[in-house]
Amino acid sequence: MYKLTRYIILIPIVVSCAYGCESYTYTQPVANTLSVDNVPIAYAMYGRATDPTVVFVHGWCCDSRYWYNQIPYFSKKYRVITIDLAGHGNSGFGRKVYTTEAFGQDVAVVLRKLDVKKAVLVGHSMGGEIIIYAAKIAPERVIGLVAVDTLEDIGMVYPDEVKNSIYEPIAANFVPEAQKFVRSMFPVNADKELINVIALDVSSAPQDVALSSMKEYFKVSGPELVKGLKVPLKSVNADMWPVNVDGNKKLVPSYEMALMKGHGHFIMLEAPDEFNVLLERMISHVLAETKR
């Protein structure tokens, strides 16, 4: 049975995954460090204690729980770090504006705290833009990026009316509209129980954080963001929305994409075994390119 329960803890815990993966223990208890604007940022570390390190970054109104199926798999080979961005999960609040760049700073401060020197950042949804910011903020610590079901067309600049058509209904009536938004991200044959769990979970997020972060996210320009990006960029995407691979490669020559067919936006939960294999392939490509 699927279960995502929001929690606020800053003590060692053992997590039993409700998504079919094995139980695991934090090798470093849930801990926190301070962001550049003094917000506590929670993180946890698993597996080996040396680089390369795989860092998982969640998307809008989610948190580190969404990577439960990846931690046991990847921590057998890599050091794994999960992060709760400010205003999410175990991390603190108090930020006046939740910008995408500030979330990138949250990732960077954890990398510095743990002295990570060879990180592959994995970001889901909004996390795709966040990890690009983090790579530009801390280039000495990041060797590559893997976006998860995002960055379908980096060069596309969406008109304000499209952004407003998403934001305004959610701002006006958060809980039902956030649930409707989540449900639109799945194909018709998707697991209904999983859809319900994620829709309920996302709609239980703090509304001020959700609305601020969405509004700020819509201000990000993909073409401007990837300018000067020095590390390889890969992605694992579902096939619900077309991916402009050729257009992305023109902006980021290192770009390549692995496609998961028949799934929706939360591919790491919908088909974790398939996703893990494809993500591992993209990580291996990043590592191979950094050795050249």
Q: Shortest CA distance to 66 belongs to which of 93, 92, 88, 95?
A: 88
Phi, psi dihedrals of residue 132, rounded to the nearest 5°:
-70, -45
Both tokens of 137, joined, read 């903020």
Q: Give domain limits for the chain.
A: 14-156+222-290
Q: What is the model's pLDDT at position 4?
A: 58
Q: For strand 40-46 and strand 53-57, is the pairing parallel, antiparallel, or unpaired? A: unpaired
Instruction: Write out the E strands in 149-245.
Output: 233-238
Both tokens of 133, joined, read 């910011």
Both tokens of 104, joined, read 């990138």
How buried is 26 (Cβ within 10 angstroms: 0-12 exposed, 13-18 middle, 19+ buried)? middle
CA 52 – CA 165 distance, rounded (Å) = 41
Q: What is the model's pLDDT at position 30?
A: 75
83 strand-pairing partners: 43, 57
Both tokens of 274, joined, read 């398939």
Phi, psi dihedrals of residue 40, rounded to the nearest 5°:
-65, 125
**DSSP calls for 16-63:** --TTSPPPEE-SEEEEEEE-TTS-EEEEEEES-SSSSEEEEE--TT--
CB of 234 within 8 A of CB of 145?
yes
Q: What is the model's pLDDT at position 292?
A: 55
Q: Shortest CA distance to 254 belongs to which of 287, 224, 220?
A: 287
State the DSSP H helix or E strand holding residue 263, giving kind and residue range, or none if neither: none
- Give the fold, CATH level 3, of 14-156+222-290: Rossmann fold (3.40.50)
Task: Scan for tokens 């889901």, then name that residue.
Answer: 124
Say what the pTM is: 0.92
14 strand-pairing partners: 25
CA 183 – CA 162 distance, rounded (Å) = 18
pLDDT by residue for the chain (292 residues), tens only, comes to: 444 544 333 222 233 333 333 333 444 557 899 999 999 999 999 998 899 999 999 999 999 999 999 999 999 999 999 999 999 999 999 999 999 999 999 999 999 999 999 999 999 999 999 999 999 999 999 999 999 999 999 999 999 999 999 999 999 999 999 999 999 999 999 999 999 999 999 999 999 999 999 999 999 999 999 999 999 999 999 999 999 999 999 999 999 999 999 999 999 999 999 999 999 999 999 999 997 5
Dihedral angle computed from the Cα positions of residues 156, 271, 104 and 83, in that order, rounded to the nearest 10 degrees = 170
Q: What is the model's pLDDT at position 7?
A: 36
